[in-house]
């Protein structure tokens, strides 16, 4: 993918048509100075600007848009984590999903882990420490055999 295609793809994913986007060219003047020249569009402090610096695609993004993008990524990461935790909990057949969820969240928070933990291991640990929170399938099967 060439540099212009990167900009096309980026602006398209932000919902900005080629016709409405602001393009710029950036030139280094000296160590602490850059010159921006708008080559297409108009100065707009709300929309991102797209351009090139030494032939490399780049964008200037308003802080509010950057904040919105970061928040969207954080929300997506949180949702993904919650779905993985939910799946892991259900695989171990909880008696009360909400109780297991609370214990799992407390366990994860207590570890102060910087990266996402192995949720299956967390749930296995909880199941070992709190067997009453899960259906005991072996006991259930034995009771079924006795009947």
Residue 73 confidence (pLDDT) above 60: yes
Residue 125: give the domain boundaries.
66-146
Domain co-membership, 141 together with 80 = yes
CA–CA separation, 18 and 74 (whole Å): 28
Domain co-membership, 72 together with 131 = yes
Q: Are 135 and 93 in contact (CB under 8 A)?
A: yes
Split into its structural domains, the chain has a count of: 2
Residue 144 confidence (pLDDT) above 60: no
Domain co-membership, 128 together with 76 = yes
Domain co-membership, 81 together with 134 = yes
The 22-30 sheet, strands edge to edge: 33-40, 22-30, 49-53, 56-60
Residue 57 confidence (pLDDT) above 80: yes
């Amino acid at each position: 993918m060439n540099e212009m295609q990167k900009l096309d793809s980026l602006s398209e994913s932000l919902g900005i048509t080629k016709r409405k986007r602001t393009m710029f060219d950036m030139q280094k003047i000296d160590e602490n100075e850059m010159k921006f020249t708008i080559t297409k569009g108009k100065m707009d402090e709300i929309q991102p600007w797209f351009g090139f610096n030494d032939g490399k695609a780049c964008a200037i993004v308003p802080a509010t848009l950057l904040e919105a993008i970061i928040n969207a990524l954080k929300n997506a990461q949180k949702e993904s984590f919650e779905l993985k935790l939910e799946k892991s909990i259900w695989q171990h057949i909880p008696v009360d999903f909400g109780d297991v969820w609370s214990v799992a969240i407390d366990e994860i928070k207590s570890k102060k882990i910087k990266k996402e933990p192995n949720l299956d291991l967390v749930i296995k640990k909880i199941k070992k420490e709190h067997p009453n929170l899960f259906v005991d399938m072996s006991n259930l099967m034995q009771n079924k055999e006795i009947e």
